[in-house]
């Protein structure tokens, strides 16, 4: 839908499209005035040195923006009718553009940064765990932040390819407040869809971990959402995240967003799971 497209594109693209639409509309009406002949428009300044084509263009701009300087005016019935139609078009067009700008500013959105890779790291109780890290890139406060994830892959059954979905639980699915980073931990045990997998497994089955983050943004006063996914090639086996923040002498913790994806190699716990996945 055109509305959703204009809401989601970048500000640069939005204003380029707005300027392009304004220019095209003015050129179309200028062409109509030009076709009406030299007597369609009159000028109070006959020595302005502007040829008739540019007179039509500038009159179209004046009419569409409802500026109306008075130095150019329609002098025939047809020109007045076209000018009236253009004025209405301009009013409606600027109303729509204003609504779109307001909608872009007021739309609640989250700006969550995710670690570039999800890692498989040694964890407690002689278990390994899948981990990834997130942080809020805005200065706004996110509260009641909740994470959900699905593990999906394509499985072949009876000569047909079927996409399977499995829920993934985290050690902590929800936090009340997100001041720094949040490392989400999924323990790879018998209930995990990753149980029995090893590095390189299922690369040809379009494995994907789909993540949704939801939280309440105090600035917007509304719930915001963020989505991300990791493919099988984005998983790093045998790693551990390094701290992404440091503590100053006054005790303040400073987050370095650029370090959110950094990790060191780590030896995994010996895997006692079967070689065939349990899913």
Banded model confidence at residue 279, pLDDT cuts 50, 70, 90? very low
Last residue of a domain, one of 63, 79, 106: 106
What is the extent of the structural domain holding 141?
A: 112-265
Q: Does position 198 have pLDDT exceeding 50, yes or no?
A: yes
Average pLDDT along the chain: 85
What pLDDT was estimated at residue 116? 93
17, part of any domain: yes
Last residue of a domain, one of 45, 76, 106: 106
What pLDDT was estimated at residue 199? 61
212, part of any domain: yes
Q: Do 30 and 118 reside in the same domain of the chain?
A: no
Contact between residue 233 and residue 205 where contact means Cβ atoms under 8 Å apart = no
Q: Do 172 and 200 reside in the same domain of the chain?
A: yes
Q: Do 94 and 64 reside in the same domain of the chain?
A: yes
Domain of 81: which CATH number? 1.10.287.70
For the full predicted model, state whether its pTM sits above 0.85: no
Mean pLDDT across 72-100: 92
DSSP per residue over 47-84, as a string?
TS---HHHHHHHHHHHHHTT---SSEEE-SHHHHHHHH
Last residue of a domain, one of 90, 106, 122: 106
Task: Tell me which of 135 and 219 has the higher pLDDT.
Answer: 135
Alpha-carbon gap, residue 58 to 51, rounded angstroms? 11
Q: Does position 241 have pLDDT exceeding 50, yes or no?
A: yes
Alpha helices in the chain (DSSP H): 2-8, 11-35, 52-64, 77-106
Report the number of distinct structural domains present in the chain: 2
Q: Does position 272 have pLDDT exceeding 80, yes or no?
A: no
Q: Do 134 and 207 reside in the same domain of the chain?
A: yes
Which segment of 144-153, 258-267, 269-278 scores lowest on mean pLDDT? 269-278
Query: Of the candidates 241, 240, 125, 127, which has an alpha carbon nearest to the alpha carbon of residue 181?
Result: 241
């Amino acid at each position: 839908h055109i509305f959703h497209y204009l809401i989601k594109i970048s500000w640069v693209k939005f204003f380029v499209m707005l300027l392009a639409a304004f220019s095209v509309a003015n050129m179309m009406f200028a062409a109509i005035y030009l076709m009406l002949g030299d007597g369609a428009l009159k000028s109070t300044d006959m020595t302005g040195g502007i040829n008739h084509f540019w007179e039509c263009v500038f009159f179209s701009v004046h009419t569409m923006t409802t500026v109306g300087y008075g130095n150019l005016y329609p002098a025939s019935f047809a020109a007045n009718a076209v000018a009236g139609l253009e004025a209405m078009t301009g009013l409606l067009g600027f109303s729509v553009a204003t609504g779109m700008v307001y909608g872009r500013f007021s739309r609640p959105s989250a700006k969550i940064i995710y670690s570039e890779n999800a890692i498989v790291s040694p964890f407690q109780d002689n278990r390994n765990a899948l981990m990834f890290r997130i942080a809020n890139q805005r200065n706004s406060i996110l509260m009641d932040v909740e994470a959900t994830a699905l593990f999906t892959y394509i499985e072949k059954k009876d000569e047909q390819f079927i996409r399977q979905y499995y829920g993934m639980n985290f050690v902590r699915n929800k936090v009340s407040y997100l001041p720094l980073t949040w490392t989400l931990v999924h323990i790879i045990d018998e209930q995990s869809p990753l149980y029995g997998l090893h590095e390189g497994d299922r690369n040809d089955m379009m494995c994907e971990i789909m993540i949704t983050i939801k939280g309440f943004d105090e600035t917007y006063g509304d719930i915001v959402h963020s989505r991300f996914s990791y493919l099988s090639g984005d998983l790093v086996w045998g790693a551990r995240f390094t701290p992404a923040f440091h503590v100053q002498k006054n005790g303040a913790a400073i987050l370095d967003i650029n370090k959110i994806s950094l990790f060191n190699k780590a030896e995994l716990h010996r895997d006692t799971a079967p070689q065939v996945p349990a899913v």
